[in-house]
Amino acid sequence: MSPKKALKSLKDYPYLDLGFAKVDHHREVVKGYPEIVYGLGKTPDQIVRISREIIKCGSNLLVTRIEPDVYARIRGRLRGTVYSPAARTVTLLQKPAPPGKGKIAVITAGTSDIPVAEEAAVTAEILGNSVERIFDVGVAGLHRLLNHYGKIQEARVIITAAGMEGALPSVVAGLVSVPVIAVPTSVGYGASFKGLAALLAMLNSCPGGVGVVNIDNGFGAAYLASLINHL
């Protein structure tokens, strides 16, 4: 390529300084995935400006933790994006991501855990993974989980989202030979302490092969699951 074109391609590397944010264009080179934007706490204008810079480089866009009223304010300025109300994510797929080698199963204990699970599922999908959703199969009725035993056995990595006592990851890990990533959710009554009880239960999981991410961190679970699934 010409020196002029090369300079244009490289001028915003390793990052572009917008003043309020430094858009990390080098992230995709290092990690294999472009920078993913955490939307909570950012203004609509900040979200739009960061997103446009990512889109301009030809990268796929994922913005997490976007409430419906915020998306209503930015939708017209980010044309072509897709909003998932369940996951609270904004995505734009501009190029196929490198495909994962197997399937990621995303399992929830209850219906109330679905928002966190959907954040994980959407994240995993835009990172190039095939996802199997299995919802509302917690320990209050284990026969529901066993009805999906075949699908669970086909997964290369499993993400489990559970609140209350957080028992689901231990049960699943006892059935499979693949990594299980546990996501405690802030679902539950008073003594669940907004997910802390589930977090501690998951950290004390008896079966081997269980890793735990932070409370309600569906994105973090999916990112780790994707790295495993691409190994």
Mean pLDDT of the 76-96 span: 94
64 close to 35: Cβ distance less than 8 angstroms = no
Percent of the chain scored above 70 by pLDDT? 93
Mean pLDDT of the 11-20 span: 66
Q: Please, what are the domains in the chain?
A: 10-92 (no CATH), 103-229 (3.40.50.1970)
Percent of the chain scored above 90 by pLDDT? 76
Centre a 10 Å sphere on the Cβ of residue 148 and count the other Cβ atoms it contains. 15
pLDDT in tens, 32-76: 788 889 999 999 999 999 999 889 888 899 999 999 999 999 999
> With the CA atoms of 146, 151, 155 and 158 taken in that order, what torsion angle do they form, in degrees rounded to the nearest 10?
-40
List the one residue out of 35, 42, 36, 38 whose CA is nearest residue 70: 42
pLDDT higher at 26 or 108: 108
- Name the band, by pLDDT with cuts 50, 70 and 90, for residue 85: very high
Amino acid at 174: G
In whole angstroms, give the CA distance from residue 63 to residue 115.
15
List the one residue out of 50, 57, 42 whose CA is nearest residue 77: 50
pLDDT at site 115: 96
Q: What is the pTM of this model?
A: 0.89
pLDDT in tens, 158-186: 999 999 999 999 999 999 999 999 999 99
